[in-house]
Structure 1
Amino acid sequence: MAETSDSVLPLVSVILVNHRGADDTIECLRAVREDLDYPADRLEVVCVDNASGDGGAERIRAAEPAVRVVESGDNLGFAGGCNLAARHANGQVLAFLNNDARPHREWVRAAVAALRAEPTVGAVASKVLDWEGRHVDFVDGGLTWFGMGYKRHAGEVDDGSHDAARDVLFGTGSALFVRAELFAALGGFDERYFMFYEDVDLGWRLNLRGWRVRYEPRSLAYHRHHASMAGISEAREHYLLERNALATLYKNVSDETLAKALPAALALAVRRATARGEVDPTQLEITRRPEGGEDGAAVPLDRSALAGMLAIDQFVELLPSLKKSREQEQRDRVRTDADLVPLMRKAMEPAYPLPRYLAAHDALVEAFELDGVFGRPRKIAVITGDAVTERMAGPAIRAWHMADVLAAEHEVRLVSVNDRVSPPESRFPVVAARRRELAAHVDWADVVVLQGHVLEMVPSLKDLDSTKVVVCDVYDPMHLELLEQGRDTDDERRAKDLQGVTKVLNSQLRRGDFFLCASERQRHFWLGHLASLGRLTPGLYDSDPTVRSLLSVVPFGLPSVAPRRTGPAIKGVRPGITADDKVVLWAGGVYSWFDPLTLLHAVHRLSRRRDDVRLFFLGMKHPNPDVPEMGMAERTRSLSRRLGLTDEVVFFNETWVPYGERQNFLLDADCGVTSHFEHVETTFAFRTRVLDYLWSGLPVVTTDGDSFADLVRREGIGVVVPAEDPDALAGALERVLYDEDFAAECRRRMVPVRERFTWESVLAPLTEFCRDPRPAADRLAASGPLVRTPAPGRGEAVRRDLALLRDYLDAGGPLEVAKRATGRLRRLAAERLHRGR
């Protein structure tokens, strides 16, 4: 996001509610005033003392005189206290913060940046960690079909995998920003809730009105979980959660959904209460009647069971006022329940692991057909032709991460048409499928994401009349690769192979509903392809002049978590390479479009003046045995032997390093290198393994001409050299290896670049598409011209024919006129024959 001048930042009102927790409140207020990177004159702090009665308000005033302290006459709860503070606030943005939390320095500035950058964002949900910053408190919100919100991933170790911004259904009230005008228009938090789920309800209502709630991980806070709830019993907490969940469900779902969901939710609340309190549900059965008449003895009832029953009772009590709120919400909503199901994450989640309760949950879901009401998870099949094993090449790695990111919101399976499928552990199924088995996976899926030749293997999917939504990943321009790869074959075979691959790509480009490419250079290239095939229709262009709804850039990505060494790899391990040597790493395979030969000459020259330089090729043999070794690999080995470099200066790892171990090799290197020839393949290529250099902080030396060279030059993260210039390449390697200041600056500049290339970030276009997948505009049924050209009148037709006659005479004389006339007569005869049928 672009930085905003402090002079145009909005006034932010930070709101806290105190109830008998003055020590926590004072500590929090001090952090807000002293630690935030936000102009003091654009920040106000409002604290409501919620009838503490312990002198807390006076203590807060004395400790923090700059804070506006508002005292309530009664304990209004969290919802009422926040609303009271909001009425006393002057800011354009309201920042709600629990009094037992502390904000990170960037907490306000990052949230304000998100609000300013995206006008459709009505609220920003902060990332919240525990007090020590090790475990997750809030990074995402989920909602069950019976109205209970929950914090997804709560309690998990914060490993960096939740550091990509995304839309959520709601944020946690412990750290939440809302546009003040919007908060007032919605009536603020629902004060009937007192506490619990008021933040879920607010987020739901925001989304129904078309506003977005945006999770922004850079807006960070730390929370002493439940410190503000000291003295509240578990039974009372259950009571509030049960009652407020029913109220939230009742207010916000549509009439159609409510008719099925509310009866089931009420029944489930009863079962939840009896299961939680271990109540004997059969004790009043007639067959259990004691001999001698009714047993009038009192029956003990656990308070946790009583909580659920009283919650339903008080929900009924609130119905008259809730009905008015419901009418308002239904009148003002602009989005459907189905629109919000993806934001609910896992709507059919049972939530409580109690056996009797789980049985009732499944029975109610089936009886009321709730799967159809809230929608099952969207089913997405990611299909690759590459081997999915511990040793994966680029296409499989890309497919793997697509499946992983999409699995956070959908039911995903990764399918490989390669026999070699022995994947690492994953949260999604990975299966091998023969060609004849692919149709079953396609039929199962709502959306198919495919690569390479997969479309050719499923004729039904290739059919242009198919309604299945297809995403084509064309990050690999196979026909351009084949121009280089095919040099080792005979001319006739090379021409046929090129023709076949081009046909495969054209089929994808005609059929796909959404396309992914790897760079802006590729995007220009594929736009030309799509235009030549007639896909860039006036209707598509008028609705989306950028055409990004059809073709979007999704580069290769990086893990969100920084590389962590799990063992030694090169230095001190490989004979001939000591711990003090300078290691140049070639991270990918050796293919025909690369130029490792110039690199060998450069390293040879550099080694004459620097005896500690070493070049390490990470993987010479492709992990997929179906991919033959290219001639360039043997030429590289041969030249290294002739120059006397092998196992002295140059080292070859003949196998392929397992994907989960590559970080050890990267962390043992001092710089990363890639060199290639200057040709068309280079212009549109995307060197996927170069991203590993960014991930591990290796300065990059690269040949000019591709999109990565543009990135290295623009961001200052290495050196770009001309093609086939060993002296320039040797000089560049010497600079990044031995100029410590330059190398350190390259590493410093890599930090923000890395953040842009995390898988969660780069896959955002695919994630967004899969949340609301639909056929491409030109593939919709009845998508012909809305306004057609009227048939010409008789006089206009005569004038047009005379004009054509003149053109034909000018072009070729009487012979051309006769030729055109014959062609026209044939067309007319064919039309009459067709009408006769």
Structure 2
Amino acid sequence: MAGTSDLSNLPLVSVIVVNYRGADDTVECLRALREELDYPAERLEVICVDNASGDGSAERIRAAAPDVRLVESDRNLGFAGGCNLAARNASGQVLAFLNNDARPDRDWVRSAVAVLRAEPTVGAVASKVLDWEGRHIDFVDGGLTWFGMGYKRHAGEVDDHSHDAPRDVLFGTGSALFVRAELFAALDGFDERFFMFYEDVDLGWRLNLRGWRVRYEPRSLTFHRHHASMTDIASSREHYLLERNALAALYKNVSDETLAKALPAAMALAVRRATARGEIDPTQLEITRRSESEDDSPVPIDRSALAGMLAIDQFVEMLPSLKQSRDEEQQARVRTDADLVPLMRKAMEPAYPLPRYLAAHDALVEAFGLDEVFGRPRKVVVITGDAVTERMAGPAIRAWHMAEVLSVEHQVRLVSVNDLVSPPPAEFEVHAATRRELGAHVDWADIVVLQGHVLEMVPALKKVDSTKIVVCDVYDPMHLELLEQGRDTDDERRAKDLAGVTKVLNTQLQRGDFFLCASERQRHFWLGHLASLGRLTPGLYDNDPTVRSLLSVVPFGLPSVAPRRTSPAIKAVHPGISADDKVVLWAGGVYSWFDPLTLLHAVHRISQRHNDIRLFFLGMKHPNPDVPEMGMAGQTRALAQRLGLTDKFAFFNETWVPYQERQNYLLDADCGVTTHFEHVETTFAFRTRVLDYLWSGLPVVTTDGDSFADLVRSERIGVVVPAEDPDALAEALEKVLYDEEFAAECRRRIEPVRERFTWESVLAPLTEFCRDPRPAADRLKASSPLVRSPQINGTEAVRRDLALLREYLDAGGPLEVAKRAGGRLRRLAGERFRGR
């Protein structure tokens, strides 16, 4: 047995064993639990339920194991009911279910508890189960057919240790299973209507639907005399329970859409399974087979065939109560049927090798389109507030490529709440939606990916009890951006706007299940936000100390295909720019947080030495009419005019280049430039259009201070200059424009960097999340601490108060004591008031 030094970190585990006329096996099992486990006896509670055996079992168990808590039922409740009865009498934070004909390995409990402690999103741990001799597999993985029948994958195979890696499963076997006690209670335990068989499948199914994980842990090992407690049960009764309970589990747990196709097909298949199993002639009542004298004599039916038909009959009998359970499960679910298909392993497995049955299985699958149901793509809606047209700005570009990448695996809709939606051709749906229409798109989706102010437009999605999976793209720290953008407004409005935007972001941070940002700098910033809002809980941290399962870096990306010119754009096209000129490209809008003024001064200096320099601003008018022109645009035009640069050395495209044509402008440039001021917005910004410089292989000149400058410096793909230093900027531009060897080296180094920034690469965290979407760990219901602080007794309380008194006297004397005492009294009074 383990020592007591780690008791405070170990939960109390209640091991539950159900006995029905199997006292010999039960006594042996209970002895092993008390003598062979490496888990402190003080943290182990063993409960045995005698299911009204009526054969003296209870007395024998009480005599052989007096330290075990024996609960006697007044009737046979079955395995499900017996386990629930014990659970209601248990004190542990963890419930461990063990068959009475099983024996645990030394590390059975400790290994399972370690998983529950380390991974708070795991609601149940499925043990590895071998046969009694430890040679053959009983349970290492669970599968589920589309018609509701669970099965043990690899059962009977020799254990060659190829299944000794932990994995998520749909369910564990009830013969050796650990479940968080609070969660088990929230789910009302096993479904007692099942009596036995598939109650463990149903429990695991419901756990997964509610966002919890069931984790197979091979180090938590048991050995099982398979069905030793069922030797007196006829196979026909077993068939009956399996058929009935499979239909019940299917009815309770699949969505309305799936149920409409799967349930009638499953019931028809159950009939065919029955007639095939009983070798019943299915044509014996055909009208064409009448003889001259009608024969109405009884026809013998094999009990195994009768089992299937009676199972359907009793399933119908159970429907009124199952309907209520179904309503509860569908209301509580946060995961879709599509989410669980991978855990079903082989959903289309026929399961029974009977020729007539197999033929019916294939016919039903085709007739009801079940391949589509159990292989249907997940539904993802990506919502933006930006204009989705031929001319797109950063938010729309980002949303567009998210939809494009996700549509390879999922059914995707890109929805804009902007009035301007006239998209280029796409492989996914694109919709315009008013605020009122937005709810229908959210209801349609399994996963909602949103940005900006979108969450404010769907109040139902903001609610804490909303079960929709929400991904918040917070690549744009809008409140920092507003500090700069709002300089032109009055102080009162600026303060109100800032408070409003901060509230919008906080609402997202409190609600989201997964967050995307654009850089490691941003990630550190948003981690602070999340921590201040209480999202970085111990449970989340223990599950993932990196917290990347909640917040991941997804920068802007690049097309995987190199840019190809479709038409000339700048050189020898735009008036004043010849084919031999050196073009410096500003690829984006002119906003208040940028510094094009220093750039103009630098170009003015260079123009005194080089007559062929041309600065080209790619877009002065934002494609989204809701984004007004900022004061910096006017200042830029005015300074260019004053320095004599306009239409000679500085050129302005007063519209916005269509997204699908931007490569023509990029390929006409000799370098790309971005300059900005030194402030907080810069520190956490990620300049979106600047990545197009990498796409087209342009050496980059950038102001220091943001994450893109870090990239340029570390990868040596251009020059980084101090903020507001026109001389340094002029020197850098001359180097990339006129030092051909340096420019060629920059272009060479850009090649491998470009591969890292393809949209497919940068969106990998979102792609992975959408393959297995789950609520954030701290949003799971019934997820209170596994190990709680012990209640202190009166003596310890007095000692604690005396220590505090000395501390307060040392800190501030009697006045400090009086202040602290007053605060404590107010707190106690508040607790009493809240308790009324």
TM bin (shorter chain): 0.5 to 0.7
Q: How does 1:391-540 map to 2 (within 5 A)?
A: 391-540=391-540
Q: How does 1:397-796 map to 2 (within 5 A)?
A: 397-796=397-796
TM-score between the two structures when normalised by the length of structure 2: 0.57
Cα distance, 1:822–1:448 mapped onto 2, change above 3 Å? same
Query: 1:549 Cα shift?
Result: 0.7
Cα distance, 1:363–1:461 mapped onto 2, change above 3 Å? farther
Q: CA separation in 1, counterparts of 2:342 and 2:661?
A: 34
Q: Which moved more, 1:729-738 or 1:768-777?
A: 729-738
Cα distance, 1:435–1:814 mapped onto 2, change above 3 Å? farther
Task: Mark the runs of 5 or more structure 1 residues left unpaired by the alignment.
Answer: 1-144, 147-180, 183-208, 211-255, 268-284, 288-335, 349-359
**Residue type of the partner of 2:547?**
V
Aligned partner of residue 619 in structure 1, secondary structure: coil
Q: CA separation in 2, counterparts of 1:441 and 1:786?
A: 38
Cα distance, 1:346–1:753 mapped onto 2, change above 3 Å? farther
Aligned partner of residue 524 in structure 2, secondary structure: helix
Cα distance, 1:589–1:451 mapped onto 2, change above 3 Å? same
Query: 1:823 Cα shift?
Result: 3.8
**Residue type of the partner of 1:527?**
L
CA RMSD of superposed structures (Å): 3.5
Q: CA separation in 2, counterparts of 1:483 and 1:820?
A: 40
Cα-to-partner distance string for 1:617-658 (whole Å, 9 max, x where unaligned): 000111111111111100000000000000011000010101
Query: 1:433 Cα shift?
Result: 1.4
**Residue type of the partner of 2:614?**
R
Aligned partner of residue 645 in structure 2, secondary structure: coil
Aligned partner of residue 562 in structure 1, secondary structure: coil
Cα-to-partner distance string for 1:181-235 (whole Å, 9 max, x where unaligned): 99xxxxxxxxxxxxxxxxxxxxxxxxxx99xxxxxxxxxxxxxxxxxxxxxxxxx
Question: Is the Cα–Cα contact under 8 Å of residues 417 and 433 in structure 2 kept in the other structure?
Answer: yes
Question: Is the Cα–Cα contact under 8 Å of residues 346 and 377 in structure 1 kept in the other structure?
Answer: no
Question: Is the Cα–Cα contact under 8 Å of residues 261 and 370 in structure 1 kept in the other structure?
Answer: no
Query: 1:807 Cα shift?
Result: 3.9
Q: Which moved more, 1:477-486 or 1:757-766?
A: 477-486
Query: 1:700 Cα shift?
Result: 0.5
Question: Is the Cα–Cα contact under 8 Å of residues 342 and 771 in structure 1 kept in the other structure?
Answer: no
Aligned to 1:139: none
Question: Is the Cα–Cα contact under 8 Å of residues 342 and 409 in structure 1 kept in the other structure?
Answer: no
Query: 1:804 Cα shift?
Result: 3.0
Cα-to-partner distance string for 1:519-570 (whole Å, 9 max, x where unaligned): 1111111111111111111111112111111111100000111111111111
Aligned to 1:384: 384
Aligned partner of residue 535 in structure 1, secondary structure: coil
Query: 1:600 Cα shift?
Result: 0.2
Q: Which moved more, 1:383-392 or 1:534-543?
A: 534-543
Aligned partner of residue 448 in structure 1, secondary structure: strand
Q: CA separation in 2, counterparts of 1:805 and 1:414?
A: 62
Q: How does 1:111-260 map to 2 (within 5 A)?
A: none
Query: 1:812 Cα shift?
Result: 4.9
Cα distance, 1:341–1:387 mapped onto 2, change above 3 Å? same
Q: CA separation in 1, counterparts of 2:798 and 2:267?
A: 71
Query: 1:740 Cα shift?
Result: 1.2
Q: CA separation in 2, counterparts of 1:588 and 1:361?
A: 59
Question: Is the Cα–Cα contact under 8 Å of residues 588 and 618 in structure 2 kept in the other structure?
Answer: yes
Question: Is the Cα–Cα contact under 8 Å of residues 519 and 554 in structure 1 kept in the other structure?
Answer: yes
Query: 1:811 Cα shift?
Result: 4.7
Question: Is the Cα–Cα contact under 8 Å of residues 455 and 508 in structure 2 kept in the other structure?
Answer: yes
Q: CA separation in 2, counterparts of 1:546 and 1:484?
A: 32
Question: Is the Cα–Cα contact under 8 Å of residues 338 and 377 in structure 2 kept in the other structure?
Answer: no
Q: CA separation in 1, counterparts of 2:606 and 2:784?
A: 64
Aligned to 1:126: none
**Residue type of the partner of 2:657?**
V
Cα distance, 1:792–1:712 mapped onto 2, change above 3 Å? same
**Residue type of the partner of 2:506?**
N
Q: CA separation in 2, counterparts of 1:798 and 1:261?
A: 66
Equivalenced residues, count: 511
Query: 1:361 Cα shift?
Result: 13
Q: CA separation in 2, counterparts of 1:674 and 1:605?
A: 18
Aligned partner of residue 592 in structure 2, secondary structure: coil
**Residue type of the partner of 2:704?**
D
TM-score between the two structures when normalised by the length of structure 1: 0.57
Cα distance, 1:434–1:362 mapped onto 2, change above 3 Å? farther
Query: 1:375 Cα shift?
Result: 4.6
Q: CA separation in 2, counterparts of 1:823 and 1:816?
A: 11
Question: Is the Cα–Cα contact under 8 Å of residues 391 and 623 in structure 2 kept in the other structure?
Answer: yes
Cα-to-partner distance string for 1:276-334 (whole Å, 9 max, x where unaligned): xxxxxxxxx999xxxxxxxxxxxxxxxxxxxxxxxxxxxxxxxxxxxxxxxxxxxxxxx
Cα distance, 1:671–1:462 mapped onto 2, change above 3 Å? same
Q: CA separation in 2, counterparts of 1:343 and 1:554?
A: 28
Query: 1:818 Cα shift?
Result: 4.0
Q: CA separation in 1, counterparts of 2:790 and 2:550?
A: 31
Cα-to-partner distance string for 1:223-281 (whole Å, 9 max, x where unaligned): xxxxxxxxxxxxxxxxxxxxxxxxxxxxxxxxx999979999xx9xxxxxxxxxxxxxx
Cα distance, 1:568–1:372 mapped onto 2, change above 3 Å? closer
Q: CA separation in 2, counterparts of 1:584 and 1:373?
A: 54
Q: CA separation in 1, counterparts of 2:341 and 2:287?
A: 44
Q: CA separation in 2, counterparts of 1:591 and 1:798?
A: 64
Cα distance, 1:388–1:373 mapped onto 2, change above 3 Å? closer
Q: CA separation in 1, counterparts of 2:689 and 2:822?
A: 59
Q: CA separation in 2, counterparts of 1:485 and 1:342?
A: 47
Aligned to 1:93: none
Q: CA separation in 2, counterparts of 1:587 and 1:558?
A: 14
**Residue type of the partner of 2:715?**
E
Question: Is the Cα–Cα contact under 8 Å of residues 607 and 649 in structure 2 kept in the other structure?
Answer: yes
Aligned to 2:798: 798
Question: Is the Cα–Cα contact under 8 Å of residues 517 and 551 in structure 2 kept in the other structure?
Answer: yes
Cα distance, 1:361–1:436 mapped onto 2, change above 3 Å? farther
Cα distance, 1:340–1:832 mapped onto 2, change above 3 Å? closer
Q: CA separation in 2, counterparts of 1:574 and 1:345?
A: 60
Report 1 or 2 for greater relative contact order, CA contacts < 8 Å, sequence distance ≥ 6.
2
Query: 1:383 Cα shift?
Result: 0.8
Identity %: 84
Q: CA separation in 2, counterparts of 1:343 and 1:646?
A: 64
Cα-to-partner distance string for 1:472-500 (whole Å, 9 max, x where unaligned): 11111111111111111112211221111
Query: 1:800 Cα shift?
Result: 2.0
Cα-to-partner distance string for 1:158-178 (whole Å, 9 max, x where unaligned): xxxxxxxxxxxxxxxxxxxxx
Query: 1:366 Cα shift?
Result: 7.8
Aligned partner of residue 673 in structure 1, secondary structure: strand
Q: CA separation in 1, counterparts of 2:420 and 2:549?
A: 35
Question: Is the Cα–Cα contact under 8 Å of residues 581 and 612 in structure 1 kept in the other structure?
Answer: yes
